[in-house]
Amino acid sequence: MDTFSLLPLPIIHFGAGRYSLLADLAGAFGRTALVVTGSHALQHSGRLSALMDSLDSAGMRAFHLAVDREPSPEMVDSAVTTFREASIDVVLAIGGGSVLDAGKAVSAMLRYELPVERFIEGQKDVMQHDGRKVPFIAVPTTSGTGSEVTNNAVISRVGRNGFKRSLRHVAFVPEIVLIDPELMVTVSPELTAASGMDACTQLLEAYTSPFATPYTDALCSSGLDYFSRSFLAACTDSADDSGVRGDIAYAALMSGIALANAGLGIVHGFASSVGGLIDIPHGTLCATLLAEATRENIAQLRLIDGKHPQLLKYSKAGAILSGGASEDIASGCELLLETLNDWQERLSFPRLSCYGMILEDVDGIVAATRSKSNAVELDNAAMKRILSSRW
Residue 18: is its pLDDT beyond 80? yes
Chain mean pLDDT for the chain: 94
Question: In terms of domains, do 208 and 150 share one?
Answer: no
Contact at 8 Å (CB) between 239 and 359?
no
In-domain check, residue 4 = no
- Average pLDDT on 160-172 reads 90
In-domain check, residue 2 = no
Question: In terms of domains, do 306 and 277 share one?
Answer: yes
In this prediction, residue 168 has a pLDDT band, given cuts at 50, 70 and 90, of very high
The range of the structural domain enclosing residue 151 comes to: 11-184
pLDDT of residue 1: 62
Residue 116 to residues 71, 102, 162, 224, 283, Cα–Cα distance (Å): 11, 11, 15, 35, 24
Question: In terms of domains, do 132 and 151 share one?
Answer: yes
> What percentage of residues in the chain have a pLDDT greater than 90?
87
**Which of 184, 217, 251 is the last residue before a domain boundary?**
184
**Which of 116, 151, 184 is the last residue before a domain boundary?**
184
Question: In terms of domains, do 214 and 153 share one?
Answer: no
pLDDT of residue 123: 80
In-domain check, residue 210 = yes
> What percentage of residues in the chain have a pLDDT greater than 70?
100
Question: In terms of domains, do 195 and 335 share one?
Answer: yes
Q: Where are the beta strands (DSSP E) in 152-259?
A: 152-157, 163-168, 176-179
In this prediction, residue 4 has a pLDDT band, given cuts at 50, 70 and 90, of confident
In-domain check, residue 5 = no
The CATH number linked to 203 is: 1.20.1090.10
Buried residues in 144-167 as b, exposed as e (16+ CB within 10 A): bbbbbbbbbbbbbbbeeeebbbbb
In this prediction, residue 340 has a pLDDT band, given cuts at 50, 70 and 90, of very high
Provide the domain count of the chain: 2
In-domain check, residue 214 = yes
The residues with which 386 forms a beta bridge, in sequence order, are: none
In-domain check, residue 264 = yes
- Average pLDDT on 80-96 reads 97
Question: In terms of domains, do 165 and 227 share one?
Answer: no
Question: In terms of domains, do 223 and 252 share one?
Answer: yes
Question: In terms of domains, do 371 and 232 share one?
Answer: yes
- Average pLDDT on 150-155 reads 94
Q: How do the residues of the chain divide into helix, strand and coil, expressed in percent and rounded to 5? A: 55, 10, 30
pLDDT of residue 326: 77
The CATH number linked to 33 is: 3.40.50.1970
**DSSP state, residue 278:** S
In-domain check, residue 207 = yes
Give CA–CA dist 87/154, Å, rounded. Answer: 25
163-168 and 32-38 as β-strands: parallel, antiparallel, unpaired? unpaired
In-domain check, residue 58 = yes
pLDDT of residue 146: 92
Whole-prediction pTM value?
Answer: 0.94
Contact at 8 Å (CB) between 206 and 251?
no
**Residue 231, Cα to own-chain centre: how many angstroms?**
16
